[in-house]
Amino acid sequence: MTIEAQTKSKILVEALPYIQRWWGKTVVIKVGGEIADTESSLTSFATDLTLLNFVGMRPVVVHGGGNQISKAMVERGLAPTFVAGYRVTDEQTVAVVKEVMTKVNEQIVGAIAAQGGFAASLSGDDELLLTARLSGPGGEDLGLVGEVKDVSMAALSKALSRKAIPVIAPLGSGPEGVSYNINADLAASAVAVAAKAEKIVFLTNTEGLYRDLGDEASLISETSVAQLRAMLDGGHLSAGMIPKISGVVRALESGVSRAHILDGRMLHCLLLEIFTDEGIGTMVTPS
């Protein structure tokens, strides 16, 4: 046996306890739309999901598309506007959101299929998967921005029962079938709670959560819900991080056991987090 083969066998053996630990468990993964910007990142992500699924885990993906949406809006002469990290959304913007989300969803589903996996394309405003109500942070009027009111497990359970990986676009169904734009972080949180997920993972474009965004030495490797709530209440988070941390807090306060904030730019970061003791990114526990 070659040294390379021995190394591979050692890695597989070391992964066994983690495979046993996570077999049959649901893990919700929120990923930004930028994952589809490069072939290498998309392939890495799809490969990780496919492997997780084949070793018995139940990954559920909720994706965003913020950068692509803003770019598409500018191309149409629309000005992207944000309040506390949330996109102000009118009817024209909703149309752009749906168009972009459909494309990103198709790219992720197609990448999983290319790796030999099977994914189910879902949109939150179809089959009342995500029922939503109008909501804005601090009572702000953000237009057609919704908050998840209820998650229907019917479509989700159907996909999981077929051993498929649900890939969900975060749109919500409001009264009379009106589609609402829902922040992907908060949508992922709601899905994790409804699916009784063991873990929720947020893939970002940073190494994790920082006490001081400009100081790499301030990376927080482990924290608690209480500490995150204090950061939210104290105004110590960047606008883009507010919905993400709000989603973490809601999920863990509602029964999800763990949350992780990882650098989605790192190839195979999901495998490193789940199957090793590397301790990458930021881990959040209920207490």
- Could you tell me the residue ranges of all domains in the chain? 25-285
CA atoms 272, 277, 282, 283: torsion sign: positive
Cβ neighbours around 161 below 10 Å, total = 8
* Pair of tokens at residue 248: 């973490």
pLDDT digits (tens, 9 = 90+) for 140-161: 688 999 999 999 998 899 999 9
**How confident is the model over 10-67, as pLDDT tens digits?**
878 888 898 899 999 999 999 998 898 889 999 999 999 999 999 999 999 999 998 9
User: In angstroms, what CA-CA distances link 46 with 63, 202, 206, 280?
Assistant: 13, 15, 20, 20
Among 15, 20, 14, smallest CA distance to 48 is for: 15
pLDDT score at 233: 86
Query: Looking at residue 15, what DSSP letter applies?
Result: H
CA distance 172 to 151: 10
Q: What per-residue string of b and e applies to 93-105 under the rule 16 or more CB within 10 Å gives b?
A: bbebbbebbeebb
Within 8 A by CB and 6+ apart from 52, the residues are 22, 27, 59, 270, 271, 274
In this structure, what DSSP letter does residue 162 have? T
What's the CA gap between 206 and 285, in Å, rounded? Answer: 20
Residue 215 confidence (pLDDT): 67
Q: Each residue of 67-123: pLDDT tens digit? A: 999 999 999 999 999 887 789 999 999 999 999 999 999 999 999 999 999 999 999
* Averaged pLDDT, 263-270: 90
Start-to-end Cα distance in the chain: 47
Strands 26-31 and 82-83: unpaired
Mean pLDDT across the stretch 262-268?
90
**Quick one: pLDDT at residue 117?**
96
pLDDT given at position 126? 87
Write out the two tokens for 158: 């159907």
3-state secondary structure of 106: helix
Please list the residues that pair with 145 across neighbouring strands: 181
pLDDT band per the 50, 70, 90 thresholds, residue 163: very high
25-285 — its CATH code? 3.40.1160.10
pLDDT tens-digit readout, 202-235: 998 888 888 766 667 778 989 999 999 998 888 7
**pTM more than 0.85:** yes
**What's the burial of 61, exposed, middle or buried (CB within 10 Å: 0-12/13-18/19+)?**
buried
Those residues whose C-beta lies under 8 Å from the C-beta of residue 143, and which sit 6 or more positions away, are 88, 89, 90, 93
Q: How far apart are CA 94 and CA 178, in angstroms?
A: 10
